[in-house]
């Protein structure tokens, strides 16, 4: 029987008004650290722009829609994590696929990490993309 997939939102998105959402989002960001604190700084932005110019990162690795999102396949804490800048740990994902992947595989919003086979398939595809980029020279 077909059914609509459940949608998951962090608590701050479920909050009723715009003002209370802003307060809740700030609290959520304070808990996990700002983007810059998590390593998404000027160096990352420069790297990200370069990566998005690579043909292997032009379209979503899942649904093939054009995208500007980059996902860490295996979750990283911050830029000190060895997987943060590792090509074999990065994949292009569109916003929708990124949100679904975060929920299913990254323990997003407090959920347990998911499908090991799907994650391994992502790693294999990422290694193939990394090899293609490295073959052109970095």
Using CB under 5 A as the criterion, which residues of the chain lie in contact with Zn ion when the complex forms? 60, 62-63, 65, 94, 97
CB 67 within 8 Å of CB 94 = yes
Nearer to Zn ion, 60 or 122 (CB): 60
Minimum CB separation from Zn ion for residue 54, in Å?
17
Minimum CB separation from Zn ion for residue 60, in Å?
3
SS3 state of residue 91:
strand
Nearer to Zn ion, 34 or 64 (CB): 64
CB 93 within 8 Å of CB 57 = no
CB 70 within 8 Å of CB 57 = yes
Distance CA(122)–CA(90), nearest Å, equals 9
Cα 11 to the chain's mean position, in Å?
19
Minimum CB separation from Zn ion for residue 93, in Å?
6
Nearer to Zn ion, 63 or 118 (CB): 63
Nearer to Zn ion, 56 or 62 (CB): 62
Minimum CB separation from Zn ion for residue 99, in Å?
10
Distance CA(61)–CA(87), nearest Å, equals 14
């Amino acid at each position: 029987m077909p059914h609509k997939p459940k949608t998951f939102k962090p608590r701050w998105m479920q909050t009723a008004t715009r003002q209370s959402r802003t307060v809740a989002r700030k609290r959520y960001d304070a808990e996990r650290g700002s983007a810059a604190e998590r390593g998404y700084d000027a160096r990352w932005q420069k790297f990200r722009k370069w990566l998005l110019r690579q043909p292997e990162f032009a379209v979503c690795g899942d649904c093939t829609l054009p995208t500007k999102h980059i996902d860490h396949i295996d979750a990283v804490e911050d830029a000190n994590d060895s997987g943060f800048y590792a090509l074999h740990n990065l994949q292009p994902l569109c916003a929708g696929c990124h949100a679904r992947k975060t929920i299913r595989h990254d323990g997003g919003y407090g959920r347990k990490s998911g499908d090991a086979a799907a994650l391994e398939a992502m790693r294999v595809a990422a290694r193939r993309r990394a090899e293609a980029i490295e073959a052109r020279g970095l």
